[in-house]
Structure 1
């Protein structure tokens, strides 16, 4: 994996573990020679990931919608900055420019990015690993929900392995490196659906 899209919040929670972890993720990826593709902002976890990677000598590509540039939240020290018109273009650029996805804690925007990466993998629009770093148990409830989707049949057995999870980055990256895509919906028969 040469580049990973990192999805995370633009907020700065009171619990400093989240910011510290985001900065460490950026630094670790840079230390492994893995470029970061992210939302282009300077605030919150997003800014911490970028700052961590840049401080460690890594490449950081930001993808930001023009509406957010106008709010002056853009990180100005990036390796590359791409300004797009829409959130849809932003997410497409994440997919086009990365070899996989890592999700850190975040809010609705982060969830939108994660679910789209998963649904696109399920359909067959990409065959890249989708990782989730469960920092301080932040995603425990979401992981239970994914299990509930599988148990009730809304997440097919062939797609249970789409979301790769771990509590620490080293384990997550190792699991992502071993990822073997399952058969996407577009290659399944009607009887299998």
Structure 2
């Protein structure tokens, strides 16, 4: 099994984000879940990769060549796939992942998890999309998702398909046991 993990190229303002990222990696190792991620050596991405190296996970990084040339690529991971652009990065990560996890991050992290969640809603894949809600980071976003349902812009079933937890053990367990909803347009 392999999780695609989307996360920030910054570490965040509270040490809890790095601590809990490391904790998630330990749980992944316990459950024999390898890692595919953005390939970076900075921010939470770097912390994620460093811990994954420490616990012996197989790590695939996927990075556009323009970022590699800025020396942001992690050089100690098992495999670095250099791609043309961000679109190809997301496609390669999705292809190689069995499920997806969003850690705290910025607009890029949200864009990545939103795209695979949208693909799941459309039935393009049947993989779990998870938010590791460290320190309540995603609480305002989750409240907004509920507003989308209340206001009639999203079905409750699409919100229900998300795996959300502040416990890495529960998050990984739910992602591994995920059962997708019925396809949007039937079979």
Task: List alignment gaps of at least 5 residues for structure 2.
Answer: none
DSSP-derived class of the 1:112 partner? helix
Q: Does 1:91 align with 2:90?
A: yes
Structure 2: distance between partners of 1:40 and 1:186: 36
Equivalenced residues, count: 187
**What is aligned with 1:121?**
120
Structure 1 equivalent of residue 156 of structure 2: 157
Partner of 2:160, secondary structure, is coil
Match of 2:182 in 1: 183
Tell me the distance in 1 between the aligned counterparts of 2:151 and 2:45.
Answer: 34
How many angstroms does 1:93 deviate by?
Answer: 0.9
**TM-score after normalising by structure 2:** 0.95
Unaligned runs of 5+ in 1: 189-193
Residue 166 (str. 1) matches residue 160 (str. 2): no
Aligned to 2:27: 28
Match of 1:191?
none
Alpha-carbon distance, 1:61 to partner: 0.5
1:186 CA displacement? 4.1
Does the aligned pair in 1 maintain the 2:101–2:130 contact within 8 Å?
Answer: yes
More displaced stretch, 122-131 vs 152-161: 152-161
Structure 1 equivalent of residue 104 of structure 2: 105
Relative to the length of structure 1, the TM-score reads 0.92
Alignment-derived partner of residue 73 in structure 2: 74
**Post-superposition shift, 1:28?**
2.4
Moved over 6 A (4+): none
CA RMSD, 1 decimal: 1.3
